Structure 1
Amino acid sequence: MVPNHLILCMLLFYVNCDDSPDKRILLSDPDYVQQQLIHLQSELQSLQATVQSQNTELHTQSGELQTLQATVQTQTSEISSLKQQLVQANSDGGGSTFVRWGRTDCPANLTELVYSGYAGGSWYGHSGAAADPLCLPSDPEWLQTTIVPDTYTGQIYGAEYESVNAHTLFGPKSHDEEVPCAVCRSTSFVSSVMIPARTTCYSGWTKAYGGSLASGYYAQAAASQFVCIDEHAQPVVGGGDR
């Protein structure tokens, strides 16, 4: 016979052993299997939601990529078009324009005539006058507009050569003669520049024409600009006498 107190101790010990972390789980326990199934289903749903979110993000990024590709394709096409235009411009040659003051024609083999006319600008005694000279065409066209009083208008006058003390800087008998002009377009070059105080061009540039640097008289009220008057200047044929 085993004493009662010994049996009690053994039962307590057995119960304490069941609470240890190393206890074995019986897979035949239906509650445990149900819990595991619920847990796995929850994880599966979470994974499915993650995959769906990633698929949506991938679809969005794919659309953005297609948009970027279309933009790049458009820009590439525009760049190609600009390159073709540049090549065409270079093959055509030129495009630069300039005014040849004192002549009605353009330099041969370098330019083509856009139009010829007369040099004009503001009156030399007007303090509010515009400074820039104009090459006025010989066949002006007029707008059908309301005429405003002379008080509120700008005024344009013809330009004349002034050769003081019988100097012939602008050609013989050029004093008080009107100044012609020609607008020229280069057929070979894409830019042009007027270089003061030089009779030759710098390296890499081709001379179109040369002449004398001229402007209005320094003591006159109206401002003026420096222009290059052709060294073989001509007067306007049949120009006015005042």
Structure 2
Amino acid sequence: MRLVLIHAIIAVFLFLVPCFCKGTDMSLLIRKLNKFSASTKYALHQILEAQKELQDSLDYQQQLRDLKTVVESQAKEIGSLKASLKNISSETKSAGAVYTRWGRYECPQNDTELVYKGFTGSSYETHTGGSVNYICLPYDPLWGKYNDVMKNDNQNLHGVEYAGNSINISGTPFDSKLRGHGVPCAVCRSTKRSSVLRIPGRNKCYKDWHLEYAGYLMADKFTHASATEYACVDEQPEKSKTGPVSKGGQYFYPVEAHCGHSLQCPPYVHGREITCAICTK
């Protein structure tokens, strides 16, 4: 019986191979094979099943090769996206917002780094031609070429002190304990945000902006000859650890709303100290 089955398989194989090579239609093959005996048909069935399994295996291997190609392509794309994100992160980091925190030695603990700390400087209060801006002077100056003889026709640089004798509110820049003391400062850089905005009249930021610190607007006294800009001094200020006390120079006085002219009151209130906020985004 085994010998007959083997002969049948060989016969079917010899019959099928030429047909497969010629691309004969399968239905035509089945009609022709109906003439064979049952044992031959069984052998054919086994061959066809084996062929199907072989074809499925070949298809599976091709699918694996296609999948491997897709995975490799996606891996390259992911690598490219990672590089782009790294560049964006680097660009964002290099474009961090820089601002001065007046009245404090350190930066806020909210994704910021200290560039340097120092003390506040400006022109002299009585100099009509004095510079209007406040600057944060570092403790470690470097000199170029110089002449140590003071000339009367040059601009002067002085320290800045807290002032404001008319009011005394504890824990604010116009606390009487601060009067006459030098004003510290810190130059800070945000590590996550690239835009900086000072908002006068508010101690909170608007929507989608991040508060770096809140404080009060301050400038020199309006009757002094030297004009100054407004500065946002931290609401919880420190005093300078070094330098003269009550030696003059330039000052930080609180800024108050003055109604009766063109200032809109309300919302502003006559005589009330103006808040401020340093915001980043």
Counterpart secondary structure, 1:152: coil
Give the gaps of 5 or more residues in structure 1: 1-81
In the TM superposition, residue 142 of structure 1 has moved relative to its aligned partner by: 1.3
Q: 1:165 to 1:149 in 2, by over 3 A?
A: closer
Structure of higher CA gyration radius: 1
Which structure exhibits the higher relative contact order, with contacts defined as CA atoms closer than 8 Å and separated by 6 or more residues?
1
Aligned to 1:122: 123
In the TM superposition, residue 88 of structure 1 has moved relative to its aligned partner by: 2.4
Contact 1:93 1:189 in 2 (8 A): no
Counterpart secondary structure, 1:167: coil
Equivalent of residue 199 in structure 1, options 193, 203, 216:
203
- Shifted more, 192-201 versus 93-102: the winner is 93-102
Q: State the Cα deviation string for residues 45-104 of structure 1 (Å, max 9, x = none).
A: xxxxxxxxxxxxxxxxxxxxxxxxxxxxxxxxxxxxx998545223x3751100000000
Aligned to 1:89: 91
In the TM superposition, residue 166 of structure 1 has moved relative to its aligned partner by: 5.5
Q: 1:124 to 1:144 in 2, by over 3 A?
A: same
Q: 1:149 to 1:200 in 2, by over 3 A?
A: closer
Aligned to 1:187: 191
**1:176 maps to 2:180:** yes
Task: Tell me the C-alpha RMSD between the 2 structures.
Answer: 2.3
Aligned counterparts of 2:97 and 2:114: Cα–Cα separation in 1: 12
Equivalent of residue 232 in structure 1, options 233, 236, 260:
236
Aligned to 2:111: 110
Aligned to 1:217: 221
Opposite residue 112 of structure 1, the aligned amino acid is E
Opposite residue 223 of structure 2, the aligned amino acid is A
Write 1 or 2 for the structure with the bigger share of strand. Answer: 2
Q: State the Cα deviation string for residues 181-215 of structure 1 (Å, max 9, x = none).
A: 00000011001111000111011100000011101
Aligned counterparts of 2:242 and 2:138: Cα–Cα separation in 1: 16
TM-score by length of 2: 0.53
Counterpart secondary structure, 1:115: strand
TM-score by length of 1: 0.61
Aligned counterparts of 2:91 and 2:161: Cα–Cα separation in 1: 38
Give the gaps of 5 or more residues in structure 2: 1-83, 248-281
Q: 1:139 to 1:113 in 2, by over 3 A?
A: same
Contact 1:93 1:188 in 2 (8 A): no
Contact 2:160 2:183 in 1 (8 A): yes
Count of aligned residue pairs for this structure pair: 161
Aligned to 1:136: 137
User: Identity over the aligned pairs, expressed in percent?
Assistant: 34
In the TM superposition, residue 238 of structure 1 has moved relative to its aligned partner by: 3.3
Opposite residue 180 of structure 1, the aligned amino acid is P
Contact 1:94 1:185 in 2 (8 A): no
Aligned counterparts of 1:231 and 1:212: Cα–Cα separation in 2: 6
